[in-house]
């Protein structure tokens, strides 16, 4: 008895999870996609020869469909599955070879099998029947319980059209509560389109996705691929708590005692992808500082990073995760750059409003006229009429001595409502800098799609370190529409 070889990934749990997730609950949606009964129910064989059966079929498709799972004219049998679950399924070499290069090589290649019975222990009978039905009739019979194993089988036997149907089915049933499970399978099966859609779903509904059962089942590489993203929509403290849950599940899988050292060990490179500097000092103190997962020196350095200036260097990313779609935009309100602009602890301020809803993610600031140096800076956006601080970041930036602007980002995007007055503030500590002149009261940004975002600037009353519409600091506003 010949064997088809190969090793099937462990899909039973994943398929079950998928079936009981949002996809499994969407009965109406599932029935719209599944063309007929689930293949697991289509196991009856036609064994009695029918005289002149060809005359009852009016097309080639009907005649081939009649031969599906039929002993009639069969010249090969497959023993599909393992143990008591194995099933003997008849087939026709010509039909299989015409639909799959793998079957063609199996029956007609230089190493062609001569066996009349071929074992496929790594394939599920229902998935194999779904594959055969597609090869015989172009009919697609997949459901929540069989889509994963059918995708595996379609990949194994190089039937891309059936692969595409499986991916389409998964895409239609993709939700936050199954996104991580499907992402793991998309990476396993090398389905970049599905993986991208899963990541988009995780970005949009990060909190729901990491709360789902499938999150703790992902592998380390998948975890890292997600943590590297700049587009997750969640506070870093909640993300850290979810990563700790994953580490506990991984310790259990590896049969390791549930200690802080083992959690740190299984997290490996993933730990460095947590953006601790984006947390508030209170969030850091209540969670990571007490977790035991970080070394004492790292905890001390991060506390210093939160509380003192100049800030010590830390080995963690401080780039904000911006959960916004589209392309980053920026406007510059000055037409010329001059020197020199001094600082004595007073905030540079400028008022602005916009004609449409945007999210501000940072400012561009001028740097030193004395060559490369570092600045400490606190940036804020205040709703002017209410004197309400909507966002701030106490951070720093390095400049190279040129008249360029240098990015300083908020920890989270700040939503700006049309026709409301806001005040942009920057309090710098450092040497004299460049500054802008010939300022504009109105700046229009036009996107590649023709969308126009109009900024209106007004000088901020009171002590503003001299910054005004005409001259000063805060030349750029960085935003998403």
Whether residue 12 lies inside any domain: the answer is no
Q: What's the rounded Cα separation, in Å, for the pair 268 and 296?
A: 17
Q: Please count the other Cβ atoms lying within 10 Å of the Cβ belonging to residue 339.
A: 13
- 204 Cβ contact partners less than 8 Å away, ≥ 6 residues apart: 176, 233, 323
Q: Give 70's DSSP letter.
A: B
Q: Please count the structural domains in the chain.
A: 3
Residues 453, 365 share a domain: yes
Residues 464, 363 share a domain: yes
Q: What's the rounded Cα separation, in Å, for the pair 141 and 34?
A: 5
Residues 392, 284 share a domain: no
Nearest C-alpha neighbor of 169 from the set 190, 150, 153: 150
194 close to 216: Cβ distance less than 8 angstroms: no
Domain edge (last residue) among 112, 142, 173: 173
Residues 158, 79 share a domain: yes
Whether residue 39 lies inside any domain: the answer is no
Note down pLDDT in tens along the chain; length 481 residues. 666 655 666 665 666 666 555 554 443 333 334 444 444 444 455 555 577 888 888 888 888 888 888 888 888 999 999 888 889 999 999 999 999 999 999 999 888 777 878 899 999 999 999 999 999 999 999 888 889 899 999 999 999 999 999 999 999 999 999 999 999 988 988 888 899 999 999 988 898 999 998 899 999 999 999 999 988 888 889 999 999 999 999 999 999 999 999 999 999 999 999 999 888 888 899 999 999 999 999 999 999 988 887 777 888 988 777 666 667 889 999 999 999 999 999 999 999 999 998 889 999 999 999 999 999 999 999 999 989 898 888 888 999 999 999 999 888 888 899 999 999 999 999 999 999 999 999 999 998 778 899 999 999 998 899 999 999 999 999 998 8
Distances (CA, A) of 93 to 66, 135, 141, 432: 15, 11, 21, 81
pLDDT for res 11: 63
Residues 339, 295 share a domain: no
Domain edge (last residue) among 173, 207, 234: 173
Give the H or E element holding residue 28: helix 27-33
Whether residue 320 lies inside any domain: the answer is no
Judge if the upstream peptide bond of residue 36 is cis by omega within 30 degrees of 0. Answer: no
Structural domain including 303 reads 219-307
- pTM for this entry: 0.62
Whether residue 128 lies inside any domain: the answer is yes
Residues 235, 123 share a domain: no
Chain centroid to CA 15: how far? Answer: 21
Give the H or E element holding residue 237: helix 236-253
Place of tokens 């194999």: 128
pLDDT for res 324: 63
Q: What's the rounded Cα separation, in Å, for the pair 440 and 338?
A: 16
């Amino acid at each position: 008895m010949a064997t088809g070889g190969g090793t099937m990934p462990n899909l039973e749990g994943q398929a079950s999870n998928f079936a009981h997730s949002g996809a499994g609950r969407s009965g109406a949606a599932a029935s719209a996609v599944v063309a007929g009964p689930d293949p697991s129910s289509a196991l009856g064989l036609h064994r009695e020869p029918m005289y002149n059966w060809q005359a009852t079929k009016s097309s080639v498709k009907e005649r081939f469909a009649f031969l599906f799972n039929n002993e009639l004219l069969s010249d090969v049998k497959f023993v599909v599955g393992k143990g008591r679950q194995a099933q003997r399924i008849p087939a026709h070499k010509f039909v299989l070879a015409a639909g799959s290069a793998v079957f063609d090589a199996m029956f007609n290649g230089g190493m062609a099998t001569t066996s009349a019975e071929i074992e496929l222990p790594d394939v599920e009978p229902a998935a194999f029947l779904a594959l055969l039905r597609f090869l015989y009739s172009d009919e697609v019979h997949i459901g929540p319980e069989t889509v994963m194993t059918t995708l595996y089988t379609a990949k194994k036997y190089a039937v891309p059209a059936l692969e595409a149907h499986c991916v389409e089915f998964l895409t239609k049933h993709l939700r936050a509560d199954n996104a991580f499970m499907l992402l793991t399978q998309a990476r396993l099966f090398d389905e970049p389109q599905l993986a991208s859609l899963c990541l988009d779903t995780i970005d949009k509904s990060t909190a729901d996705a990491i709360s789902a059962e499938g999150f703790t089942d992902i592998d380390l590489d998948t975890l890292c691929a997600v943590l590297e993203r700049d587009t997750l929509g969640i506070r870093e403290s909640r993300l850290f708590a979810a990563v700790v849950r994953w580490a506990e599940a991984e310790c259990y899988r590896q049969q390791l005692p549930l200690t802080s050292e083992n959690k740190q060990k299984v997290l490996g490179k993933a730990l460095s992808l947590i953006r601790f500097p984006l947390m508030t000092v209170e969030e850091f103190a209540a969670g990571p500082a007490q977790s035991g997962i970080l070394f004492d020196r790292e905890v001390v350095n991060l506390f210093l990073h939160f509380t003192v200036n100049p800030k010590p260097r830390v080995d963690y990313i401080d780039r904000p995760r911006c959960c916004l779609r589209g392309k980053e935009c920026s406007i510059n309100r000055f037409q010329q750059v001059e020197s020199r602009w001094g600082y004595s602890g007073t905030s540079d301020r400028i008022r602005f409003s916009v004609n449409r809803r945007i999210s501000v993610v940072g400012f561009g600031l001028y740097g030193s006229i004395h060559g490369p140096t570092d600045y400490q800076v606190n940036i804020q956006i205040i709703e002017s009429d209410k004197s309400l601080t909507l966002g701030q970041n106490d951070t720093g930036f390095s400049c190279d001595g040129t008249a360029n602007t240098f990015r300083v980002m908020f920890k989270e995007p700040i939503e700006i409502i049309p026709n409301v007055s806001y005040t942009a503030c920057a309090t710098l500590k450092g040497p004299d800098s460049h500054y802008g002149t010939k300022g504009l009261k109105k700046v229009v940004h036009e996107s590649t799609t023709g969308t126009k975002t109009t900024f209106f600037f007004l000088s901020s009353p009171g002590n503003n370190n001299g910054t005004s519409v005409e001259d000063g600091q805060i030349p750029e506003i960085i935003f998403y529409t």
